[in-house]
Chains A and B, each alone.
Chain A
Amino acid sequence: ETGVTQSPTHLIKTRGQQVTLRCSSQSGHNTVSWYQQALGQGPQFIFQYYREEENGRGNFPPRFSGLQFPNYSSELNVNALELDDSALYLCASSLDRGLSPLHFGNGTRLTVT
């Protein structure tokens, strides 16, 4: 059973740039959720995708967007990066919109300078 994998592991970007983070779901999982974890905070829900459709969104601006592909892998895109976007971005997969516990990847550490 392959777990959730995220790439890249670390990334440094400049304010105003755009970034794309990638996530491969655990085998058999059709739901992907993205969370942002700022330093010293718990993970904060960004959005969830189920069968390629957005299925709920947290309190994040539209410059945070996502995609889920037919193989259930996913991307998180952030436009017009701000310094406060510096955080650990966690992808989690699950079965059927959360009927099973979330399985998290190890995250992508994004630093915006």
Chain B
Amino acid sequence: DQQVKQNSPSLSVQEGRISILNCDYTNSMFDYFLWYKKYPAEGPTFLISISSIKDKNEDGRFTVFLNKSAKHLSLHIVPSQPGDSAVYFCAASEQGGSEKLVFGKGTKLTVNP
């Protein structure tokens, strides 16, 4: 039973355009959501997070949107850069922080020059 789903295994975009990565969840007890980026042979790196009391959080080129009624969140990267090419994981927690994270399977983003 997958509680966090990333239905697109891969995404390819052109440099300078917007990248939109999607994530759906089924557990209504999740109250904190995070995005991590992972390069090959490295551990995941924290990117951005959002609490369930918000519907948007922005940090530079990265914005996360949360739609609680649809149990859906998305990560927008604008503009996309070749260095953004990585696997992006969506994660969720019931604890209000980074405890006991439940991860999706990831989406591999490729940004073409």
Contact = CB atoms under 8 A, between A and B. Distances in A.
B43 A107 contact: yes
User: Do most interface residues of chain B lie in helix, strand or loop, or is the interface mixed?
Assistant: loop
Interface string B73-102: 000000000000000010101010111111
B104 A42 contact: yes
Contacts of A92: 43
Nearest to B98: A98
Interface string B37-79: 0000111111001000000000000000000000000000000
B111 interface: no
Nearest to B9: A40
A3 to B, nearest CB: 9
A102 B41 contact: no
Contact of B89 (A43, A45, A94, A99): A43
A42 to B, nearest CB: 3
A58 B95 CA distance: 14
Contacts, number: 64
A48 B41 CA distance: 23
Nearest to A55: B99
A101 B34 contact: yes
A1 B6 CA distance: 33
Given A4-B43, A42-B4, A100 B105 contact: no
Contacts of A42: 4, 6, 89, 91, 103-106
A94 B43 contact: no
Given A4-B43, A98-B100, A101-B49, 20 more contacts: A35-B101, A40-B105, A42-B4, A42-B6, A42-B91, A43-B44, A44-B103, A45-B101, A56-B99, A90-B43, A97-B99, A98-B93, A102-B44, A102-B46, A102-B98, A103-B46, A104-B44, A106-B41, A106-B42, A106-B43
Interface of A: 4, 33, 35, 40-45, 48, 55-56, 58, 90, 92, 94, 97-107
8 tightest Cβ-Cβ pairs between the two chains A and B:
A104-B43, A42-B103, A98-B99, A98-B97, A98-B98, A101-B46, A102-B98, A43-B103
